[in-house]
Each structure stands twice: as C-alpha cells, then as structure tokens.
Structure 1
C-alpha cells in the first residue's frame, strides 16, 4: 500500500516535471518576444561580431532567466505539492507575474536606459505617473489588456501541455532547441571574455542591456554613449582635450517667448581673477553672496556654458559654425564683449549683456550676476567660485550651481519663458536645481553633480567622486541610473 502510494506520488511528480519543461519552453518564447524591446532601446552594434553577440546573448540569457525562474518556483512546488490542477494554476499566476514584471522592466529600460532598481525609484515612478496622467483611460486599458493576455496565454499553454504531454514527449525538437540555447549561452560568454580582453567595446557596451546580465562599468557606459576614447584607454589614460566629434542638431522648432513690458534686464559680469571680482563687489554693495558656482577650470568651456546655457560638449560644433545661442529669440536681445563670441551680432538696448572684466558701475534697475573664474590648473577639471547677485531671492543660497544655470534662471524666473528654457538649454534654474541632471563636460571628462557629490568620468573609463564643497575624494560606487540619465541629457542635441 505504501509502495503504491509512493509510486503514485513519484508518477505525478515526474509528469509535472515533464509538463514544467514544456511550460517553461513556451514561456521562453514569450519572454523573447517581450525582451525584443531591450534590443531596440539602444543603438545597434556597428560590427558583425557585435550583432552576433547581441542575438546569441538575447536568446541564451532570456532563456536562462526564464528557466531559472522555473527552477526557483515551479520545480520545488512540483516536488513538495504534486497536485497537477493546483500546480498548473499557481504556475500560470506566477508566470503571469514574472512576464508582467519583465514587460515593466523593458518599458523602463526603453524609456530611461536602465533597469528597475531602488536607487532610481523616483525617476521610475515619475515615468509611470507621466504616462498615466497623460492618458489615464488608455493607459489603464492597455495595462489591463496586457496582463489578461499574458494570463490567458499561460492558462492556454499550461492546459495544452498537460493534456498533450504524451504527444509532446515523442517530439524531438524540444531537445534541439534546448541544445541550441545551451550552445548560445556558452558562445555568448566566450565572446564576452574575448571582447573584454581585446577591448572590443562594440560588444562590452552591451553589458547590462538585458536584466540580470553583466553589471555596467564606467567603460561600458561611456562606450554605449560614444564617449570612450579607445586610443586614450590603451595609452596610459591620457586626457583627450579635444573631446569627441559632435554633430549638433538644431531643434525642429523652438517655443516663442513674449516678455512683459516690465521684464527686468540682466547684466552678467564674469572676471578673470578673484581680485577683480573683490574690487567690483566692494564698489557695489547691492551685490550679496548667492549660490556656489561649479565651473570648468578651462575658461573657454566656462564662458561657453555662460553664453549658450549648454555643456561644453557642444562648444566646438557651435562656435566652429558661428551659431547663435538657441535661447536668443525675438524679442530677447543680447550683447557681449567676450572676444571668442564676437561673431554673435550685438543688439541695441540688450536685455541680456554678458561682460568679461567690465568694472563699470551697475545700473540699479537691472538684475546682476557676478563671479570670477578660478585660475586654470593642469590637474583639475572643475573649481568652485562664489556667485554674487543683487536678487534678494538668491542671496545666501546653499545651492551649488553652474554657469549655464544663470541664463536658465533669467529665462524661467525673470521672464517666464519656461518652455524655451527647457527646449534650448541643458541647465537648471537656480531655484529649481533638481529639474534635470546637473551635468557638464570639459577636457574630455563628463561631469555629473548630485547634492554635494561631483562625479568625474574620464573618457578612458576611469572615474572619481569628490566633495563639491570640501574638495576631498569620496569612495563610492558609480550611480549608474543617475549617470545614464545625465548622459542622455548631455546628448540631447547630438545627431549620434
């Protein structure tokens, strides 16, 4: 009697395990369809070996995580609780939850460039909130339909596999598919080992493309965004002062901006030394300390930030073609005495004037900003200066801003041109510094700032964190979601 019961138990468990393999195989097919979103989220590989690696990794890794989910959930349940009807129902629910989670992760990766993770929870929730609030009825309908379709698929394949198990056991193609996936798994890892040793970044930049795959490194992150200098990486990590080739793309349209008759005019004074700034401030007591200002020590980069409201990533492209700042649109008038930007036509009665080393007395009716550029130093990329202003709202601020944030403040806070600021600048208002990633680019180094921490990501893949206020090094891991967000923002106007 006991032997018969044991045989019956073993028979049910054996049947459930056989059914589970076919159920998992069908789910691998569904997971491959959903995970196609990851392949289209990034630029396609540029080499044949990169394309081969992408395909074999997509096949093998997706199959692996699907099979792993089976091993960790359905497999132990089948052994502990071998009741077919209950197991099939639980398996369908678990598989629906898993596939829905995969779809959500693919959606997040396609839109944000990184997978579901706790550190980027705010950005992820913001993404979902924007989609729901824009089209609440349609979003609810689509999500509900997706979940119901996945559940219907699970119930269908679960019942079909169980009722046709004897027929499926006689089929041989399942073995061939399994063997092919194992071969792809071995091939993908072999190619990656070779690519890592041979510096084949068309392959390693695909790290972290799929969920639970290779962790993203600084080198793979830069390679994915075409900011990794391979020659530099191979030659003792020397700084590339020329930066990458950037093809600046003008926006198709830019919002208009109508100014009120009483919209304030603005003077921005930038000085070549702290001594000149100190004398100017002493002669104009209306100026009071405002935010701290983080700027590149390369003065041409800092001046470009100030005039264009953009990171210096675009300096060569815009100045080579003598392109005016995007924010300079009628009725906004502009003038500057900076030699490098003499090609910008001066307007009479400018609403914004940017002067270098101009110590003329201030006009009390104008908003004024003043700061000095720290002396250039071969071992430094950034420096912190004090920003002065006669605007009471900005005085005694604890924020750390950048030169491009000044023109963003003028457009958004003084003139009400928020849409133009968002479309034409990569900067934050001094009163809303968390609106987007606080980034810059100078001397081949990507600069990202969050609160007091500055991350300097070199074009050879090395990086370091420093305290913005104190200047000492900070030992922390890379915040990959934050850097991906910043790199996407940096390349807002890039054709690549």
Structure 2
C-alpha cells in the first residue's frame, strides 16, 4: 500500500495541508489580478448585477485556481512526496498560471478577447509587434520580472511550509470554503434566473472572465412548465446590446461629389423655443413629424453629427463623421458650434461662438451645424441668414415631437435627428447611399416610412402612427403616436426584426 509507511503518510498529509494553504494564497492573488477585468468593464446597472459580479468574481477565480491545485499540485503530493520538489514545481506552476491570467486580463482589456484558439491570430500579431518594438533591455526586464515573481512564489511556499502547524490550529478552512461555495452557488443560481428572464445586467457579464460557462437551465425549466420557451425566444430576438464597442464604419466607402458653393446651416436649439413663430416669420416650411428620440442632449448631439443612435457613441466618438470629413476634405468650409462638450472626433471642426457667428452670418459656401440657446438663435435669425443660406431649424427636447423647419420642401414622413446629416448631404448633391454611414435617411429622398433608434437602453420604433418601446429584457409597450396613450394593438414582429437588423448593421458581432 502506497501510504503504508507512517513517516511517508505523515509527510504526504503535511504536503496536502500545505498545498491547500498555498492554493488559498494564490486564490487571493488571482482575485486581485482579476480585478483588471472588473475595473475595465462597465459596471452593472443594478444592485443585483453588482452582487452577481462580486460573487462570480470571487467564486470563478477561486474555482480556476483551486482546479490548478487539484490537477498539478495534489498529484505531486502523493506521487512524488519530496518537499523541495513539490514546493519548487508548485511554485513554477503558480507563477506561470498567474502570469497567463495577467496576460489574459490585458488581452481582454485591449481586444475584448480571452486566451483561446480563436484569439491565436491576435496573440501572434501582438507577439510580432512586441518582438519588433522591444529592445533586448526590455526583454531582459520582462525576464527579470518573471524571475522576481517566481522567487516570490518560492518564498511564499517556504514561509507556508514553516508555519503549517500553526495554520492547522486556526481551523478557518471551513468558513473560507463555505464563503467560496456560497459565492459559487449563488452566482450560478442567479445566472440561471437571469438567463431565463433575459436580465441584461447579469447576462452581459457572461464573457468577462476566462473559461467562464455560467449555468443555464432553460430546457429543464421548460420541461416542468417553469418557462415558456417560445416566449423566451421571442423576447431574446428583441434584445440589443445597450452599446456597440466594435463597429464597421462606414459600412462601405463613401464617394460622391458635392455642390462646393452651397451654403447650408443647421441650427439645433438646446432649450425650448417657439420655432413655429420663428418659422412663420421667415416663411420656412414646417415638417411636423420630427422627433427627438434621444434620452439626453449629449446623445442627441451625437445623433445630429453622426446620423447614428447613441448605441454607437462609445465606439465612434473619437472618429470624425464620414460625411463631415468628406465635405471638409472637398474644400467646403465645415464648422460646428456647441457650448457643451462635443465628441472628440469633431473637435477639429469646432468653433467658438464669435467665430461661428461671423462665418455663418456672412454669405459664402459653408456647411454649419450649431447647437445654440434661445438668445443665440434669435441673434442669428434677426439678420439676413435666411436670404443667403438654406436653413434647417429644430430643437432638443428628449422623448418629444419637436418639429423641423426648413427653407426647402422635405418629405412628410416620420423623422428624427439621425435623418439630419443624410438630409444635409442630399441637399449638397451627394448621391452616396446614406446606408453606408447612417441609420437615418435623407428627407429629400425618402426610402422608408418608419424609423428606429434607442433611448437609455430601450429600442424605440416609430411606425404606422405608433411608438413601440422594447426594454432590455425584451418586453415591449405600444403607444399611440398622437395621443401618447398605450395602445392594445399587437406587435408587428416582422417590422421590428427588420428595424433591429437595420439599426445594428454597423456592429461587429464577436
């Protein structure tokens, strides 16, 4: 019998006990390293999401580290019960494993990927770049850093071995084990519930940690009548991420000529104003079915400047809108004014108020977009701006019908701020399809009589005189567009599916 010798059995028992404490120490280190995933990801929008994040963080990382102990350290304790050998090999395994965890965390932070066969191309590319850019001193530093890290593991292993009898007397193993088991059970139980209810604050964390496969039980629950699987599939189809971090923009190259002598001015009031009186005084044409669908003014500014909903804001705010880049490069003076912060991608086109006012007030070719208050709007309109420039006037009033006034005739279909940029390009004579750079359409050449956008995590579809709102869990409500009252009408799934595909076509699905 392997353990028949009493001294051997005692040595193995002590090594196994040491291994548990060594694993616990590395669990705590791994949890600290894994904080890179947590602090570089968006925080959950709910308290339940935060509780799940913490329990999943502690339990999953502890599980991975303990599995390393089971697979690599525990067999050594029985098959090769030499104290120095076990401590040395275990330290090497721990140092390499935690280094891989740190590398995976940095890879996830930069590319949103974990170490896998699917990320091999990215890893090879990063390795080639590192080999090209790193000098021998930098490689020496990295090697020295790993030696220091391995030395730390060896010192920790020796310190634990010398104090193992003292640790055994503390009897804190059961409370610690109970804590991690409770976290493990509660996180997987919470995920089963969240998956069945499509609860996004939890589901969106599925890919945060490496080798993460949260529990689901849809088939079992549907078998016992606890889940309507058809209703689940329908609600899942209606869901959309609250933002896209990776996009293909533009969807195709945008090539077109423009009228480089045109003078177009779009003014968006940032506070409630009586545009009707102003429009009548200037004999502007009224387009009443124009809506501000955005939840806040920063999202509305993004939609005006990019022709896209705020879903794309985080991915594109550092990139110049393709149409404005085109007009600028083709020599048409392109200027933007806003007292509030603009996306960094358009900062180079931004002007202060005196410069914007002077350029807009003077005759001459230009494309100007101004986010102005009531006083600034009245100052501009009191001159002869409407005589030498084509005008578009609207305002920001989140979730409301705001109307649109223009110098030229526009189509009477329902529209939003996302349609303004394609409309400007159409008025400039650009015949490039707006589908390549916007979810909106030119109101001079309307192709559809519905629109879709997002509002604070909800999808908003305006179609057939109805407003359909779909929340992050896939539940929907229908309102009459004129009265604002909730409607008993059934949902047009075909239209909604078409609209969601239209809205998300710039997104890259990993």
Using structure 2 for the length normalisation, give the TM-score: 0.48
- Larger radius of gyration, structure 1 or 2? 2
